Structures are given as structure tokens and as C-alpha cells.
Amino acid sequence: MMSTPAVPPDAGAVYRRYLSAVLLHGQASARACDLGATDLYALNILELRGAMTPGELGDRAGLTTGPTTRLIDRLEAAGYVRRTPSPDDRRKVIVEPVGKPAQLDEVMTPAREKVGEILRGYTPEQLQVLFDYFSRATTAYQEATEDLRD
């Protein structure tokens, strides 16, 4: 019989504090770059996924049509994205990332360095488990989000 690892009694609270800290850091980083949190989140989506239609970006950011249009307008005015005609259908528009806030790396570096220091304290096997968790938890959260939207 396989035993389950011991989970600390406050595991839920520890995890919630972690998620809150990540969320708050994202919001503070956006403010430090003169962006809204959703704007920075949308830039991250575009950087990770590449160019997409406004509808796809809105879906991934959890926005309806009007707020998505205003989001793209703000990002385009700031020089971070551009709208281009779709190569497949000239009636459609594609949103392409073309830049990011100049100070974003500077703003994010202290947290990245601190987390990097923590990660350097783990063995290769522990890191493999951590990144397996990140990958699987990403899928779990994405599926749960889709379930909530349905």
C-alpha cells in the first residue's frame, strides 16, 4: 500500500498566501510600468502564445468584446501591440505583440533573482517535481476555468 506524503495542516493557507503574493506582485509590477494588471496579463498571454485574434485574446484574458477592444487600443497606443489583417481572412484582424514596457525586466528582476536563489537550493530531482507540478497545475487551473465559464 502506497502512503501519501504528509501534508502540513496549514497547507491550504500556505498555498493561498503563495497565490496571493504572486497575484499582488503582478499587480505591483504592472503599476510600476504604468499599466493595468489586465494589460500586463494580456501582454504575457501574447508573449507566450503569439499573435491571435482579439476574440482569442479576450477569451484567454476573461474579457468581453468591449473591454477587449479598449485593452487592445491601450496596448496599441503604448506601442506594445499592433493590429494586422489576418493572412487567412483579410476581414479578420490579428493582434501581434511588438514590444513590452522598457522597465518591465528591471521591475521583475528582484523577484526573479530571489526565486532563482530559492530554486538553486533544490536538487535536480526536486526541481523536476516542482516543474512537473507547475505544468500539471497549469492544466488543472485552465480546465477549472473553462468549467466555470461553461
Question: Per mean pLDDT, which range of 4-18, 51-65, 84-98, 121-135 is the poorest?
Answer: 4-18
Q: How many residues does the chain have?
A: 150
Structure confidence at residue 76 (pLDDT): 96
Q: Which grid cell sits at 120?
A: 538553486
**Residue labelled with grid coordinates 489576418:** 86
What is the DSSP pairing of strand 81-85 with strand 93-97?
antiparallel
Tens-place pLDDT, residues 1-40: 555 678 888 999 999 999 999 999 999 999 999 999 999 9
**CATH tag, 36-101:** 1.10.10.10
Tally of CA atoms within 13 A in the half-sphere of 125 that contains its CB:
0
Contact call for residues 16 and 24 (beta carbons, < 8 A): no
Extents of the domains making up the chain: 36-101, 103-150
Q: Using CA atoms, how far apart are residues 20 and 40, in angstroms rounded to an integer?
A: 17
Question: Per mean pLDDT, which range of 49-53, 70-74, 85-89 is the poorest?
Answer: 85-89
The predicted model scores a pTM of 0.84
